[in-house]
Amino acid sequence: MKITLLLFVLACFCSAAFAQKEPGIHLASIRNSSFKPATPQGRGGDSAFLEYVIREVLESPEDIRFVSNRELLTPLCVQYCSEDILVLDDSTKGDKVKFILKTRPYRPEGKSLTFRVASSDSLISGINGKPAYGAVTQLPEKEIDTLILRINGRPLKVPREAYSDLFNPNMCEFDLFQQGIEGYYSLEGSFLYLYIYGGEGQNLYVAKLIFDRQQYLKKVVVEYPELLRYRVMRETFIGY
């Protein structure tokens, strides 16, 4: 009994210690990335992009725990992918994890638009008071209809605010400037990350939706200007 208790305490201690080290592992790997292209502004690459995300994008200092180098993470398996439906289904970390994402044609009815310049109708700043990711220079063609997450068959509530402002998601295609939707476990498996690329050209964005094993936590989105400025639009982009 004492041995069992001791092993349990040690396991909990090791797990906690590893969880504490995880952000440091990711930060060090990104800061040591070899991808550092020269730019006219003297900045670029994974390390510079990381510092931008920490400084300008994360909502609070504690969110640095979600920063990740995707090359170090375990991806979820893509079970099915089409233009309208994506299914990620995996049990690599023990639990049965399943994401189901469905899209539909964009429905303009009942939606109000705001613009980045009051006298212009060419640059959209928002749809129904929320950002219009993937639809800056033109109305979106499709929107996310539903996003479902189940762990061991138990559905986790995913609020519409998690994805209602993410338009024209790229479901399956991989090329120089786009990647399909991908899911990952954090190193110790406590968090789940869903990366969504969307839009094209000046409408491009990369969104990271963050979940723990009980609920949706938040999302982090970076748009085209910063993706271009830091030269991270490439097939080997390691994420954030």
Contacts of 58 (CB under 8 A, 6+ apart): 64, 67, 220
User: pLDDT tens across 159-191, in order?
Assistant: 999 999 999 999 988 876 678 899 999 988 889
The predicted-structure confidence for 76-124, as pLDDT tens digits, reads as follows 999 999 999 999 999 888 889 999 999 999 998 888 888 876 555 568 8
Upper half-sphere CA count for residue 106 (Cβ side, 13 Å): 17
Domain range for 185 is 70-229
135: Cβ contacts below 8 Å, ≥ 6 apart = 124, 127, 167, 168, 199, 203
d(CA 91, CA 98): 9
* Sequence letter at residue 200: E
Instruction: List, for residues 5-57, the tens digit of each pLDDT value.
Output: 333 333 443 444 444 477 788 888 888 877 666 555 556 788 888 889 999 99
pLDDT at 2: 42
Residue 53 DSSP symbol? I
Mind listing the pLDDT tens digit for each residue in 225-234? 888 888 877 7
Work out the percent of the chain whose per-residue pLDDT is above 70: 84
Strand 142-151, strand 130-131: pairing:
unpaired
Name the token pair of 101: 């994402």
Q: Is 54 helix (H, G, I), strand (E, B) or coil?
A: helix
pTM recorded for the entire structure: 0.85
Distance between CA atoms of residues 60 and 46, nearest Å:
21
Q: What is the mean pLDDT of the chain?
A: 84
Classify residue 16: in a domain, yes or no: no
Domain count, the chain: 1
Amino acid letter for position 228: L
Residue 133 lies in a domain: yes
